[in-house]
């Protein structure tokens, strides 16, 4: 849904280009960040760019880093898109509209991707949680762990 504001980018870039994909990605996260910034303004009473908007603008940056790593990995390891004679068709994803069928990555690559995702969310997560902590959304007097730290 949030990629719809970026459909006008097709007039400026070829739709299969990496520039189009990245511009669309950054536009979608920009719109999402602006919407969440408005939510922060309702919760905290002030508009700041340092919290939710920063979180949402850091996400496409992390995806861009991932694109670069994949690009350089493919340059380093050679072409992987030509199936061999013993290619297992059960290891192919289904076609989704305009997407080509691609082989499912090996388990170790998926594990590296999961570790990258956990690292990136742990690194950028405080930006989205900070406004909620400021107004006390996560504090419950019945379960206040700070009482345990006093002793």
pLDDT on residue 147: 62
Cα–Cα distance for residue pair 61/67, rounded to 1 Å: 10
The one-digit pLDDT tens for each residue of the chain (151 residues) are 555 666 666 667 777 778 888 888 898 899 899 888 888 778 777 776 677 889 999 999 999 999 899 888 888 887 655 444 454 555 555 555 555 566 788 898 889 999 999 999 999 988 888 777 777 777 776 766 666 665 5
* Residues comprising the chain, all counted: 151
pLDDT on residue 124: 92
Pair 62, 29: CB distance under 8 Å: no
Asked if residue 48 is part of any domain, the answer here is yes
Number of domains in the chain: 1
Asked if residue 110 is part of any domain, the answer here is yes
pTM for the whole structure: 0.68
> HSE (CB half, 13 Å, CA atoms) of 7?
5
Nearest residue to 38 (alpha-carbon basis) of 23, 22, 26, 56:
56
Asked if residue 94 is part of any domain, the answer here is no
Domain residues for the domain of 123 are 8-80+104-136
**Which DSSP state fits 95?**
P
Asked if residue 16 is part of any domain, the answer here is yes
Asked if residue 92 is part of any domain, the answer here is no
């Amino acid at each position: 849904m949030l990629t719809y504001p970026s459909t006008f980018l097709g007039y400026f870039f070829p739709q299969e280009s990496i520039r189009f994909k990245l511009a669309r990605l950054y536009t979608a996260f920009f719109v999402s960040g602006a919407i969440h910034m408005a939510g922060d303004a309702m919760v905290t009473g002030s508009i700041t760019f340092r919290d939710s908007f920063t979180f949402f603008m850091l996400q496409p940056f992390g995806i861009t880093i991932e694109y670069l790593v994949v690009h350089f990995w493919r340059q380093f390891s050679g072409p992987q898109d030509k199936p061999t004679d013993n290619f297992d068709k059960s290891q192919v994803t289904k076609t989704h509209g305009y997407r080509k069928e691609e082989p499912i990555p090996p388990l170790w690559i998926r594990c590296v991707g999961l570790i990258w995702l956990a690292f990136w969310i742990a690194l950028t997560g405080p930006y989205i949680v900070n406004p909620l902590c400021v107004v006390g959304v996560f504090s419950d007097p019945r379960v206040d762990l700070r009482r345990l730290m006093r002793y």
